[in-house]
Amino acid sequence: AQTVTQSQPEMSVQEAETVTLSCTYDTSESDYYLFWYKQPPSRQMILVIRQEAYKQQNATENRFSVNFQKAAKSFSLKISDSQLGDAAMYFCASHFSDNAGNMLTFGGGTRLMVKP
Amino acid sequence: EAQVTQNPRYLITVTGKKLTVTCSQNMNHEYMSWYRQDPGLGLRQIYYSMNVEVTDKGDVPEGYKVSRKEKRNFPLILESPSPNQTSLYFCASSLTYNYGYTFGSGTRLTVV
């Protein structure tokens, strides 16, 4: 079975500092897609960043970047220059190519707190 | 504005009373899906649809029904709700299978 694991239930970071959220996954597939979603207190799920497994280059979106280590099956999210608005639940998710129905598999989430 | 609209946002109901949560998207997306979110478990897929009249079960389909009669709508039906269906529910849609989903604002359901 395909699984996604986030081992850090909670993290905190000082405003303007950098924080890295961890995610590991387990699959025997070679073709898949990885995502990070942000869920602020409003509970809206917001797509932060997307990585295609066949691309070696790490995805970046402004202050958000990933460290994708395919051999280690690791997909961490780095947030630079943290802002108060970054405080939220963050979910790692994957779509594996053998999943019928376009199912996303989610990790359990990491709650990020940002200290002023 | 491109969006997925769910209603209601909050719902409290009693055990056994049938209910429907509506979901509509205005982006002409083929894929639609329902998830439930429970603490520590992340989001788990209930049902999905790849097109009109094409639906199938996700990870946790027991106690739920769906239909896809039109491309834009994908309602979630609980025929006989039970307290273990108390959860936060999300509808989501996607243009393609690998693009990432757009989520609705969620429906907080409490079954007493």
pLDDT score recorded for residue A98: 53
pLDDT score recorded for residue A97: 62
Q: Check: CB of residue A22 under 8 Å from CB of residue A7.
A: yes
Residue type present at position A40: P
* B window 36-75, beta carbon within 8 A of A: 40-45, 48, 50, 56, 58-59
Task: Compute the average pLDDT of residues B101-107.
Answer: 94
Q: Check: CB of residue A52 under 8 Å from CB of residue B98.
A: yes
Q: Which of B97, B105, B107 to mutate to test the interface with A (most CBs of A within 10 A)?
A: B97
Are the beta carbons of B48 and A50 separated by less than 8 Å? no
DSSP code of residue A74: E
Higher pLDDT, A91 or B42: A91
Q: Is B8 helix (H, G, I), strand (E, B) or coil?
A: coil
* Regions of chain A short of the pLDDT cut 70: 1, 97-102
Contacts of A104 in chain B (CB under 8 A): 33, 35, 43, 45, 101
DSSP code of residue A60: E
Q: What angle do CA A72, A66, A51 make, to 5 degrees?
A: 85
Question: What's the Cα-to-Cα distance from A92 to each of B53, B69, B107, rounded to whole Å?
Answer: 30, 32, 21
Contacts of B106 in chain A (CB under 8 A): 43-45
pLDDT score recorded for residue A101: 54
Are the beta carbons of B50 and A95 separated by less than 8 Å? no
Contacts of A95 in chain B (CB under 8 A): 97-98
Lowest mean pLDDT among A75-79, B30-34, B106-110: B30-34
Q: Check: CB of residue B106 under 8 Å from CB of residue B90.
A: yes
pLDDT score recorded for residue A95: 85
β-bridge mates for residue B77, sequence order: B20, B65
> d(Cα B29, Cα B72) in Å, to the nearest integer?
8
Name the residue among A47, A103, A107 with its Cβ closest to that of B48.
A103
> d(Cα B58, Cα B45) in Å, to the nearest integer?
5
Name the residue among B50, B88, B106 with its Cβ closest to that of A102.
B50
β-bridge mates for residue B68, sequence order: none
